[in-house]
Amino acid sequence: MAEKKVRKYKDSDEKITAKSLITPFLFSFPFMVGLLIFTVYPFIRAVLLSFMEDYRFLSGKFSGYGLGNYTAIFNDPNFINALKSTTKYVLIVVPTSLAISLLVAVGLNSVKKLQGLFQTAYFLPMVTSATAVGMIFRWLYDFDYGLFNYFLGFFGVDKIHWLADVKYTMASICIYGIWSMLPFTIILLLAGLQNIDPIYYTAAKADGAKAKDIFFNITIPLLAPTIVLTSIVNVMSAFKVYDSLFVLYGAKPGPAFNLYTVIYYLYDQFWNKNKLGYAAASAMVLFAIIALFTLLQNLVTRKTNYYN
C-alpha cells in the first residue's frame, strides 16, 4: 500500500504542464521587470557613461569612448583624498563596531529575563530616521552645550570643536558611523550565538574550562562564519559612507572640504559640477572595490564553513 502511494506521488511529480511552467514565470515577472528597469539598465548605462568622454547631459553628445574619465579622476587630488579618507574610515569603524557588538551580543545572549526588550532597544536605532539621529549628534558635538564636551569637562579636558576643527572631523564621523553600525552587527552576532549548540558549553564546563578559554576556544571559532559575514558586509557598507557627512556637515565634506569620501565625490561631480562621466567613473571604481570584498567574502566563508 505504501509502495503504491509513493509511486502515485512520484508519477504526479513527473507531470510537467504548460501551466506549471508559466505560473512561476508570471509570479516572478513583476520583480524581473523592476530589476531590469531599476538595476540592470542603470548599471549598464553607468558603465557606458564612465567611458564617454566630454559627455553633455542636455544634448547627450560626447566626443568618443575612452579612459579619459578614469585618468581624470585618478589625477584629481579630491578623488585620491576621497579614497584615503574612505579607507581610513573603514579601518577605524568596522573593527571597532565589531568588537563592541561582540561584547554586547555576548552580554545579551547571557541575559535570560527581558531579553526581547533589550534586543528591541538595541535594534531601534536601525529604524530611526537618519535626519533625527543627525540632529541629536549635532547637539552632542556642540561646542558650548554638547554632551561630549560636558563629560570631557569632568576630566579637565578643554572643549573640542568637533564639527569645526579639522583635527577632529574624522573622529566625529567615525563615532557616528560606529554608533550607526552597532544595531545591525549586534543582531547578526546575537543570532549566530543563539545558533551555537549549548552542548559545547556543557562539555567544556564539565571539563573545568574557564570562561576565558570557553570564549576564545569555543564561542569565537563557532561564531567565525557570522563574524566573517558581518565584517565583509560592514566593510562594503562603510565604503559607501555619505549620510554622516550629509547630516553632520550639511552635505559638505567637512568644514575645510577635508572629508571627501568616494560617494561624496560622486555626488559632487554629478550634482554640483555636472560632470557625469567623472561621477560614473568614480562609481565604477567603488563598484570594483565592493566586488573585490564580495569575492573575499566568498573565499573566507568557504574556509570557515568547517566550523558548522
Greater confidence (307 vs 249) lies with 249
Set of cell numbers at residue 270: 554629478
**Residue for cell digits 554608533?**
179
| Amino acid identity, position 27 | F
Nearest alpha-carbon partner for 73 in 262, 243, 253, 238: 262
Q: What percent of the chain has pLDDT over 70?
A: 92
Structure confidence by residue, pLDDT tens digits, 8-48: 545 555 567 777 778 888 888 888 899 899 989 999 999 99
Better-predicted residue by pLDDT, 38 or 6: 38
For residues 166-193, average pLDDT? 91
Name the DSSP class of 64.
Answer: E
For the cut 70, the answer to whether the pLDDT of residue 53 exceeds it is: yes
Distance CA 137, CA 125 (A): 13
- Range with lowest mean pLDDT among 149-158, 186-195, 298-307: 298-307
Of 198, 253, 257, residue with least CA distance to 222: 198
pTM for the whole structure: 0.83
| Arithmetic mean of pLDDT, 217-233 | 88
What is the pLDDT, as a whole number, of residue 107?
A: 86
- What does the pLDDT average to over 44-71? 89
108 contacts 190 by C-beta, under 8 angstroms: yes
CA 75 to chain centre: 28
Contact between 200 and 215 under an 8 Å Cβ cutoff? The reply is no
Q: Which of 220, 223, 180, 190 is nearest to 93 (CA)?
A: 180
84-124 confidence digits (pLDDT tens):
999 999 999 999 999 999 999 988 888 777 777 777 777 77
Per-residue pLDDT, averaged over 232-260, amounts to: 86
The yes-or-no verdict on residue 242 having pLDDT over 60 is yes
Report residue 78's pLDDT band, with 50, 70 and 90 as the boundaries. Answer: very high
For residue 224, give Cα distances in angstroms to 4, 19, 193, 295, 308.
47, 45, 10, 17, 9
Q: For the segment 150-167, what is each residue's pLDDT rounded down to a tens digit?
A: 998 888 888 999 998 888
Q: What pLDDT, on a 0 to 100 scale, did the predictor assign at position 7?
A: 53
Q: To 10 degrees, the CA torsion angle through 171, 175, 180, 182?
A: 130
Contact 119, 113 (CB under 8 A): no
- Cell (9 digits) for 257: 572640504
CA–CA separation, 85 and 91 (whole Å): 10
CB count, 10 Å around CB of 59? Answer: 7
Residue 100 CB burial class (10 angstroms; 0-12, 13-18, ≥19): middle
Cα–Cα distances in angstroms (integers) from residue 95 to residues 30, 155, 186, in the given order: 40, 27, 13
Q: Cα 82 vs. chain centroid, distance in angstroms?
A: 18
In the CATH scheme, what is the homologous superfamily, with its name and number, of domain 68-307?
A: MetI-like (1.10.3720.10)
Domain locations in the chain? 18-48, 68-307
Cα–Cα distance, 246 to 251 (Å, whole number):
4
pLDDT at 9: 47
Q: Is 117 exposed, middle or buried (0-12, 13-18, 19+ CB in 10 A)?
A: exposed
Per-residue pLDDT at 219 exceeds 60: yes
Q: Is the pLDDT of residue 306 over 50?
A: no
pLDDT at 278: 94
Q: State yes or no: pLDDT of 307 exceeds 80.
A: no
